[in-house]
């Protein structure tokens, strides 16, 4: 009976339906002895971590086990979707264990950026979210920037303990773990996965040479992130893969910007001023008059305005409006989870409306850049 099978590596229940969930084994491999899930299989045979995801409830169950361990928690977040990829309430779950905050994908920031400023910004934001971190490290797992610092900081704070790596989906957790496996674990020793003591944690242990391990947990899925609700075909437009080129728009009140057909920004009230867009370079931006915006969208969504297509839009929740008042004298970003942000450049204040699919996190924050 399929339901009874569990992975000899990580202990997770075996399933043959969904590749992206823990415990997946292709039907054809069910007879193998010992039976291990695809994720453990790949680490064992190819030294390669792969992404799997959990929904929030299962993830919280997993997370609450970490408080009872002696470990270093490495929390990976995505600088392009910072608030969306922060695990809310992480501090409650980790107990007294130290948290190292690794901020990935810094290669996406515009080239001229001051990294110290970004690091201070991250530190402030994390603190505001109630997360105490022993250190904040900026890196790019893909472009191999700052990775030595990541290892140094892990070594410094690990203190001979296990390392739990946690993060939301798509933050680059498996890319980073693959680097850790290659650069950090003892390659002389065969990589094996082993069952986590106690109940199923859906986590994979990658042994280190001192008998401790890096524990790769599944990514958490947050439906408040744009990247989780759009079809795969649109992800390529949404996610930058090169440094962002900021786009400056001089707007008068009563003007609207469309971001493809996925979001809309109305400058409702305020003096003429410039807004700087930090979105993927491939995103189609269309400027129009606010009074024409509804009509334009009705006529041209999914086509002239850019993706997602009409068909894909049917699968995405309709828009909600977020009214945001930017106070005089505050330098803010209007952040739309997964899409990017709009920097407000003048201290004269503004009233704006943002339309984004229902449930997507939209907020005003202190300017990152
Ligand atoms: P996971 O779901 O957190 O395990 O994330 P993956 O490692 O599968 O990466 C998700 C996506 O982000 C992939 O398209 C990666 O190529 C990309 N990615 C990972 N790390 C970086 C990085 O440092 N910079 C950039 N630009 N992209 C990255």
User: Does the pLDDT at position 247 exceed 80?
Assistant: yes
What does residue 231 show for φ and ψ, rounded to 5 degrees?
-65, 155
* Ligand 1 atom index nearest CA of 139: 23
Among 49, 106, 170, say which to mutate for ligand 1: greatest number of ligand atoms within 8 Å of CB. Answer: 170
What's the pLDDT at 196?
42
**Number of CB atoms found within 10 A of residue 322's CB:** 17
86 C-alpha to ligand 1 centroid (Å):
16
Task: Report the separation in Å between the CA atom of 78 and the middle of ligand 1, taken as the mean of its atom positions.
Answer: 9
Distance CA 194, CA 211 (A): 12
Q: How far apart are CA 146 and CA 170, in angstroms?
A: 19
Greater model confidence, 293 or 197: 293
Which is more confident, 108 or 349? 108
Confidence of residue 198 (pLDDT cuts 50, 70, 90): very low
Check residue 3 and give its pLDDT.
54
Helices 147-158 and 173-184, interaxial angle, to 10°? 70
For 63, the 3-state DSSP assignment is helix
User: What is the pLDDT at residue 208?
Assistant: 81
- Among 175, 218, 281, name the best residue to mutate to test ligand 1's pocket (greatest count of ligand atoms within 8 A of Cβ): 175
Task: Examine the pLDDT at 353 and tell me if it is beyond 90.
Answer: yes
Instruction: For a ligand 1 pocket test, name from 21, 142, 181, 232 the mutation site with the most ligand atoms within 8 angstroms of its C-beta.
Output: 142
CA-nearest residue, atom 9 of ligand 1: 172
What structural domains and CATH numbers belong to the chain?
A: 47-220 (3.40.50.300), 228-366 (no CATH)
Q: If you write DSSP's letter for every residue of 254-266 in order, what string do you get?
A: TEEEEETTTEEEE
Q: Which of 42-46, 143-147, 295-299, 339-343 has the lowest mean pLDDT?
A: 42-46
More confident: 10 or 75: 75
247-251 and 273-279 strand pairing? antiparallel
Ligand 1 mean position to 142 CA, how many Å? 7
Where are the strands (E) in the chain, listed by range?
Answer: 53-54, 71-78, 99-104, 135-138, 162-167, 204-207, 213-216, 219-220, 247-251, 255-259, 263-269, 273-279, 285-289, 319-326, 332-336, 340-344, 350-357, 362-366
**Residue 222, token pair as written in the block:** 């947050």
Residue 154, pLDDT above cutoff 50? yes
Residues 190, 195, 201, 205, Cα dihedral to 10°: -20
pLDDT at 207: 80
* Residues contacting ligand 1 via CB (< 6 Å): 51, 104-105, 107-108, 140-143, 167, 169-175, 219, 241
CA proximity to 307, closest of 252, 232, 254, 204: 232
Asked if residue 72 lies in contact with residue 213, where contact means CB atoms within 8 angstroms, the answer is: no
Average pLDDT over the chain reads 89
Tens-digit pLDDT profile for residues 49-80: 777 777 788 788 778 888 888 999 999 999 99
Ligand 1 atom closest to residue 176's alpha carbon, by position in its atom list = 7
């Amino acid at each position: 009976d399929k339901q009874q099978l569990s992975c000899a590596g990580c202990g997770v229940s075996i399933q043959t339906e969904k590749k992206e969930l823990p415990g997946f084994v292709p039907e054809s491999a069910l007879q193998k002895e010992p039976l291990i899930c695809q994720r453990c299989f790949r680490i064992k045979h190819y030294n390669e971590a792969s992404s799997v995801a959990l929904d929030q409830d299962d993830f919280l169950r997993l997370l609450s086990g970490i408080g009872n361990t002696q470990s270093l928690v490495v929390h990976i977040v995505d600088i392009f979707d910072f608030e969306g990829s922060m695990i809310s309430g992480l501090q409650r779950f980790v107990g007294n264990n130290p948290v190292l905050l690794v901020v990935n994908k810094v290669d996406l920031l515009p080239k001229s950026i001051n990294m110290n400023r970004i690091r201070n910004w991250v530190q402030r934001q994390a603190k505001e979210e109630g997360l105490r971190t022993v250190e904040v490290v900026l890196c790019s797992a893909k472009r191999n920037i700052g990775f030595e610092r990541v290892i140094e900081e892990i070594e410094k704070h690990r203190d001979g303990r296990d390392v739990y790596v946690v993060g939301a989906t798509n933050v680059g957790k498996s890319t980073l773990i693959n680097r850790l496996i290659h650069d950090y674990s003892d390659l002389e020793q065969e990589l094996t996965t082993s069952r986590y003591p106690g109940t199923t944690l859906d986590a994979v242990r990658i042994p280190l040479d001192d008998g401790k391990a890096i524990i790769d947990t599944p990514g958490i899925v947050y439906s408040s992130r744009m990247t989780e609700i759009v079809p795969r075909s649109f992800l390529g437009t949404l996610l930058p893969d090169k440094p962002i080129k900021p786009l400056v728009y001089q707007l008068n009140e009563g003007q609207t910007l469309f971001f493809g057909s996925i979001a809309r920004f109305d400058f409702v009230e305020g003096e003429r001023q410039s807004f700087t867009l930090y979105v993927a370079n491939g995103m189609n931006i269309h400027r129009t008059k606010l009074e024409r915006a509804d009509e334009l969208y009705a006529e041209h969504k999914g086509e002239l305005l850019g993706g997602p297509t009409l068909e894909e839009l049917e699968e995405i929740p309709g828009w909600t409006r977020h009214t945001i008042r930017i106070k005089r004298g505050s330098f803010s970003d209007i952040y739309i989870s997964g899409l990017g942000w709009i920097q407000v450049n003048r201290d004269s204040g503004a009233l704006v409306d943002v339309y984004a699919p229902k449930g997507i996190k939209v907020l005003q924050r202190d300017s990152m850049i």
